Amino acid sequence: MKEKILLIGGGGHCRSVIDVIELEDKYTIAGIIDKKELIGQEILGYKVIGCDDDLEELFQKYKYALITIGHIKSNLLRVKLFNILKGIGYDLPLIVSPLAYVSKHSTIDEGTVIMHQALINSNVKVGKNCIINSKALIEHDSIIEDNCHISTASVINGDVKVEEGTFFGSNATSKEAIVIEKSSFIKAGSLQK
């Protein structure tokens, strides 16, 4: 029997992650945690069953959770929720779309989601609580630290270090062997050299 998982946050990113979880077929979605006033509503057929205040109580029944809030302007809420969930004792699994390619010679930490058609090459390290979005390419020997969002169709070339908390915009490209500093906001379509 598949383990049940709670999704934390019910916006647009949540809808994309639901699609990945359904396709991966490792977990059953138990429900979604969102604002109190949204309890009872449905997102793609899954009910909003609680708000942040209910997380302690829900842990009696569910052991797995995943943060499904996006990261564009800020990742502070994602980081805060990750720490709350870990503090309660939740297991935050790695979720990988079967349509993505992840080298067996790479390592990816907990709470990270790899979306459809992302490509992660050999000797890549991806930290905790990251979003590697649809069609993102991360080349060999790169490091993506914790709490980063590598956006749709972006390219991280070989031997690049993306420091913690960075947002790397859609269609942005990095030159090889550079460091992208902590909490950077890399504009969509830009070239990092």
pLDDT tens track of the chain, all 193 residues? 899 999 999 999 999 999 999 999 999 999 999 999 999 999 999 999 999 999 999 999 999 999 999 987 889 999 999 999 999 999 999 999 999 999 999 999 999 999 999 999 999 999 999 999 999 999 999 999 999 999 999 999 999 999 999 999 999 999 999 999 999 999 999 999 9
The predicted model scores a pTM of 0.96
Residue 168: CATH number of its domain:
2.160.10.10
Last residue of a domain, one of 88, 118, 151: 88
Residue 90's pLDDT is 98
Within 10 Å of residue 181's Cβ, how many Cβ atoms?
Answer: 12
Distance CA 166, CA 92 (A): 20
Same domain, 55 and 118: no
119 in the same domain as 64: no
Give the model's pLDDT for residue 11. 94
Quickly tell me which residue has 């991806």 as its tokens.
Answer: 126
pLDDT for the residue numbered 72: 78
State whether residue 119 is helix, strand or coil.
strand
The residue assigned the tokens 């906001």 is: 185
